[in-house]
Amino acid sequence: MLNGLMAVPNLIGLIGLSGVVVFESKRIIDKIKQEKKGEKHLGVVLIALFYSFAFLLK
């Protein structure tokens, strides 16, 4: 019973962060599209992905 109740805060957190995940994903996709147009270095995109996921894991 108590283990099942522990899932409730996790579900609330997942639902609450879903908007952040969508926002960050769109931002990264837009950045990748801009990088492809300008043909900048792939490292910039990888750094952006790393910082975005690090932000989500906080």
With beta carbons less than 8 A apart as the criterion, state whether 24 and 52 touch.
Answer: yes
Count structural domains, the chain: 1
Query: Does 40 or 10 have the greater pLDDT score?
Result: 10
- Computed from CA positions of residues 48, 54, 57, 58, in that sequence, does the dihedral angle turn out positive or negative? negative
In a domain, 52, yes or no: yes
**CB neighbours of 37 closer than 8 A, spacing ≥ 6?**
none
Predicted confidence band of residue 58 (pLDDT cuts 50, 70, 90): low
Domain that holds residue 45: 19-58
Question: In this structure, is residue 34 part of a structural domain?
Answer: yes
Q: Is residue 48 part of a domain?
A: yes
Residue 40 has φ and ψ, to the nearest 5°, of -85, 175
Other C-beta atoms closer than 10 Å to the C-beta of 4 total 7
pLDDT tens-digit map of 15-51: 888 888 889 889 988 888 887 776 656 667 777 777 7
Check residue 39 and give its pLDDT: 63
Residues 20-29: tens digit of each pLDDT:
888 988 998 8
> Which token pair is 57?
């894991």
What pLDDT does 43 receive?
A: 67
**7: in domain:** no
Q: Is 56 within a domain?
A: yes
User: Is residue 14 situated within a structural domain?
Assistant: no
The answer to the question of residue 42 being in a domain is: yes
